[in-house]
Amino acid sequence: MANALPDIYKFSDSIINLAAMVNYSLRDGHPLYYQLPSNPIELTGLLGYLRMDLGQSTLSSYMDPTRERTQMTLFFFRSHVGKHSANPGCRV
């Protein structure tokens, strides 16, 4: 999907990306762990870390208030390295 977007929108973020990054960090940056764990207990622990670290307002951007549902892909962010960012008169 990112290929079909203009160059100012190049990457997305989701709760899955955040959980995978926490798992990766907890495992000392081993590339094998840049994913969600298949063990439900480990996944629950990762979500607990996210709840503590993100805070209620940020977590509400990713999940509903009951914490039962989330969007798989939430945001498409602007890329600050695109061809338009080199033009000082272009607003991105």
- The Cα–Cα gap between 71 and 91 comes to 29
**Quick one: tokens of 84?**
């338009």
Tell me if 70 sits within 8 A of 14, measured CB to CB.
yes
pTM: 0.62
**Domain extents in the chain:** 2-86
Rg of the chain over Cα atoms, rounded to whole angstroms, equals 16
Summarised one tens digit per residue, pLDDT across range 11-69 is 667 888 888 988 999 999 999 999 999 999 999 999 888 888 888 888 888 888 887 88
Helix (H) or strand (E) holding 79: none
Task: Name the residue type at position 27.
Answer: R
Nearest to 49 by CA among 74, 23, 13, 87: 23
